[in-house]
């Protein structure tokens, strides 16, 4: 039986921490759908289309990975894509409470989908999209934390 996993997030923008999670997950499951949330509530820095296209280029070397976008309930998106697994990354204890709450709620909404947590690699455990945006906004160099295409987009955005 083929197992498809969905990795949802805002990816505003995708970082090397996200790429690391996707690469590790791609060897555990048959197919990975990276699902970029439209998340209007968060008023993202990059628009949905750009977040999708940045994720696509950053992940193009992984053959079993596809990037999609979604605006509704994650469990509905999982069902539409025949995904039985939701992947989430865990960096620190601070992620834990919210992530467990989310996993519990998604399981209540759809008993057929299971959340699998992937622990962040040590070198990316401190990395978040919001920190990247902030450092970049203040003129700092984020080259080592984001894929090259994302670095270029940040420079173009912040000037």
Out of 16, 18, 33, 133, pick the active-site residue: 18
Q: Rounded to an integer, what distance in angstroms lies between the CA atom of residue 116 and that of residue 106?
A: 12
Whether 71 and 105 have beta carbons less than 8 Å apart is answered as: no
Q: DSSP labels for 109-153?
A: H-TT-EEEEEEPPGGGTT--HHHHHHHHHTT---TTTS-HHHHHH
Which residue, 15 or 106, is less far from ligand ADP as judged by CB?
A: 15
Which residue, 127 or 150, is less far from ligand ADP as judged by CB?
A: 127
CB of 130 to ligand ADP, least distance (A): 8
| Residue 18 is a catalytic residue | yes
Q: Rounded to an integer, what distance in angstroms lies between the CA atom of residue 156 and that of residue 25?
A: 31
Which residue, 63 or 122, is less far from ligand ADP as judged by CB?
A: 122
Q: Footprint of ligand ADP on this chain (CB under 6 A)? A: 9-11, 15, 17-18, 21, 88-89, 91, 95, 120, 124, 127-129
| Residue 91 is a catalytic residue | yes
CB of 1 to ligand ADP, least distance (A): 25
Which residue, 11 or 46, is less far from ligand ADP as judged by CB?
A: 11
Out of 24, 56, 79, 91, pick the active-site residue: 91
Whether 112 and 84 have beta carbons less than 8 Å apart is answered as: yes
Coil/strand/helix, residue 103: helix
CB of 74 to ligand ADP, least distance (A): 9
DSSP character at residue 2: -
CB of 145 to ligand ADP, least distance (A): 9
Out of 16, 33, 51, 129, pick the active-site residue: 129
The residues, ordered by sequence, that sit 6+ positions from 71 with a Cβ below 8 Å of its Cβ are: 37, 38
The residues assigned a catalytic role are 18, 42, 91, 129
């Amino acid at each position: 039986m083929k197992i498809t996993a969905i990795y949802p997030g805002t990816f505003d923008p995708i970082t090397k921490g996200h790429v690391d999670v996707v690469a590790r997950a791609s060897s555990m499951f048959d197919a990975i759908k990276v699902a970029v949330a439209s998340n209007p509530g968060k008023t993202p820095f990059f628009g949905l289309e750009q977040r999708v296209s940045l994720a696509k280029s950053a992940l193009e070397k992984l053959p079993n990975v596809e990037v999609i976008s979604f605006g509704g309930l994650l469990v509905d998106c999982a069902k539409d894509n025949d995904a039985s697994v939701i992947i989430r990354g865990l960096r620190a204890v601070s992620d834990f409470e919210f992530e467990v709450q989310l996993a519990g709620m998604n399981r209540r909404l759809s008993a057929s989908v299971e959340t699998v947590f992937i622990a962040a690699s040590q070198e990316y455990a401190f990395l978040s999209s919001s920190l990247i945006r902030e450092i970049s906004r203040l003129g700092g160099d984020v080259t080592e934390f984001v894929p090259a295409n994302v670095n270029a987009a940040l420079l173009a955005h912040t000037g």
